[in-house]
Chain A
Amino acid sequence: MELVQAAIAGDRRAIARLITLIESEIKEAPAILAEIYPYTGRAYVIGITGAPGSGKSTLVNQLAKSYCDLGRRVGVIAVDATSPFSGGAILGDRVRMRDLGQYPGVFVRSMASRGNLGGLARTTPAVVKVLDAAGYDLILVETVGTGQLEVEIARTAHTVLVVEMPGTGDEIQSIKAGVLEIADVVVVNKSDRDGAERTAAILEAMLSTRERWAGSGLVYSDHSGALLPRLAKYLGGEKSSMTEETSWRPRVVRTVATRGEGIADLLCAIEQHRQHLLTTREWEERNRLRLLSEIEQVLRRRLMERLLHQVELDHLAEVVNSVLARRLDPYAAAEQLLCG
């Protein structure tokens, strides 16, 4: 496809068009992704998650500038929530990224979640691939930031930043929301406010006792019979290759994103994590799990579509009536529909 070749060559209009096609999940999307895939795998992906207003977009603005100054080409994907009522969305992350307009090496794309709940849009991992293939070697992905469990970013990024604000122990959002488990680096932003030091200390203490992530965050699945834990078991058995000494201990970094303070420390922590991944087996393990998880998600969606498609409408109407009349329970109804 001509558009794909132009995007790979770095044509920004082509990249933008291609993202729209992928995001719209048009019929040709799988073919496009197949053509792109051989060109991917070069980018380093950094995820930024955290409660609304914690300063994610402001941090992305600073990080993108810093990486650009280091000569990197930076892609930014900023995800915001789609309204469940209208299907529309206001995507406002660019307001905090106005500096990036002056950097020709930066490409910023806003995405609406379009009904997906895990903090990203369903097609965000595919859009990451488009930017990767187009030569953006550093990709920053900002999640919706509902303050809820947003674990999908852990399957998409190499390094996950969880952004926090100064507050007392029971105000710390990432502890409440249970996203600390996926953090590789915890950023205490707005450290110009009171209590930043204490917040950092509380987080340090929490992190020193937390569960190791390779066993929790990524493998977690609420589906019974999920392929991910099964394959992990098949490949590695119970014994994890990570011992106390080789496992990553998340860093806590304090920043003032609005003033660019602490950004150098943050870059340093990210680089340390990258080095950690590269020098241990975790790089390969994570990549394998990431790809498996992606395959599994597509597989689930396709299976579901296929099964639902097979349901005969007159049969469905009849079954629903039986359930309404209490002649059949919903579980038995589903079983009947499955059997056709």
Chain B
Amino acid sequence: MIFMNQSHASPPIRVLIAKLGLDGHDRGALVVARALRDAGMEVIYTGLRQTPEMVADAALQEDVDVVGLSILSGAHLVLLPRTVDLLRKYGLGDVLVIAGGIIPDEDVPVLRERGVHAVFGPGSSTQEIVNFIREHVRK
């Protein structure tokens, strides 16, 4: 660790973590945020009750590489594609979009079709999320 040369290391991956929708808590989102921090990423945590507009705006200003959305409300088929569309509209089409929370298996292909790169259900480990990001993030 003390031999690591900070200035030559590549800059940290920046991730926006937000909880979409009006209900619920953000325990899951916070667990993921901590895991990503411990994996050396910079996590911009925006908290509860975010709208697709707020997420896209924050992603733009923070110039993140990844947007991670937690959603429990059942409105995922509306809110997730809407967020992806806004990101594209802002010129952020190369941002990796991942989702977590309670999303039925049969909806996953629909979401993938609409531009969500991966969906992590309640059974996923945080290590899987870290690995997925490292593998698929824009270079």
Judge whether A110 and B44 touch: CB under 8 Å.
yes
Q: Is B134 an interface residue (CB 8 A)?
A: no
User: What is the bound-complex CA distance between A108 and B58, given in angstroms?
Assistant: 8
Judge whether B60 and A16 touch: CB under 8 Å.
yes
Interface residue ranges of A113-170 to B (CB < 8 Å): 114-115
Judge whether B63 and A101 touch: CB under 8 Å.
no
Q: Which residues of B contact A23 (CB under 8 A)?
A: 11
User: What is the bound-complex CA distance between A91 and B43, given in angstroms?
Assistant: 6
Chain A, interface size: which category?
20 to 34
Picked from B36, B61, B91, the residue with its CB within 8 Å of the CB of A109 is: B61
User: What is the bound-complex CA distance between A24 and B14, given in angstroms?
Assistant: 12
Q: Which residues of A contact B73 (CB under 8 A)?
A: none
Q: Is B107 an interface residue (CB 8 A)?
A: no
Q: If the complex has contacts A16-B63, A17-B63, A94-B45, are A87 and B11 also in contact, measured as CB distance less than 8 A? A: no
User: What is the bound-complex CA distance between A112 and B40, given in angstroms?
Assistant: 12
**Majority SS at the chain B contact face:** mixed
Picked from B7, B40, B58, the residue with its CB within 8 Å of the CB of A94 is: B58
**Majority SS at the chain A contact face:** mixed
Judge whether A90 and B37 touch: CB under 8 Å.
yes
Q: If the complex has contacts A110-B62, A112-B12, are A98 and B44 also in contact, measured as CB distance less than 8 A? A: no
Q: Is B33 an interface residue (CB 8 A)?
A: yes
Judge whether A109 and B62 touch: CB under 8 Å.
yes
The list of the 8 closest CB pairs from A to B, nearest first, reads A88-B37, A95-B47, A16-B63, A24-B11, A101-B54, A88-B40, A87-B40, A20-B63
Known interface pairs A86-B40, A88-B39; 17 further A-B residue pairs with C-beta atoms within 8 A, sorted by A's residue number: A12-B60, A16-B60, A16-B61, A20-B11, A83-B37, A87-B6, A87-B9, A91-B45, A94-B46, A95-B46, A98-B49, A98-B54, A101-B53, A101-B54, A107-B61, A109-B62, A110-B44
Give A contacts to B, CB under 8 Å.
12-13, 16-17, 19-20, 23-25, 82-83, 85-92, 94-95, 98, 101, 107-110, 112, 114-115, 305
Give B contacts to A, CB under 8 Å.
6-7, 9, 11-12, 14, 33-34, 36-47, 49-51, 53-54, 57-58, 60-63, 90-92
